[in-house]
Structure 1
């Protein structure tokens, strides 16, 4: 089997021998190195998500939403509320902690 054919075969269908062959021989061919991808944004949903994000009660989360301080971070379609967590914390003046 050629390396090109093995690369198209799903991993779960390979035998151990095929996998090791591909692993050992793919280093000799053009193998693209993967660039680190920027992590996806974290979203919270609904008033409950806002309450958990700001560690407050539901009535307080409702007041935060109604205060319009975090409006740029909120997308609302009908009753569905989607909040960009990082942006909401920045808009509210809370420090964003980078968890690495």
Structure 2
């Protein structure tokens, strides 16, 4: 038996590659265009960036707004915001 919360285990099954995590973390701060998301990915992950967006969209974690021409978290993705913000906080802290 693991100590992981059930929600975290579910998220781990939905998000299958690092590019998907990076996209979700980027969208935690604000909606962004596909081009902006692609530029934020490291070079090794850029080739799967479009596929990562497609996968997250199919899992109902992100949505695309045509009027704004931007991706943003869906209501289901918004429910992950506290976890994603904690991950961002951990990334920003400097190692001691």
TM class, shorter-length = 0.3 to 0.5
Q: Which has the higher helix share?
A: 2
- TM-score normalized by structure 2? 0.34
For CA contacts below 8 A with separation 6 or more, give which structure has more relative contact order.
Answer: 2
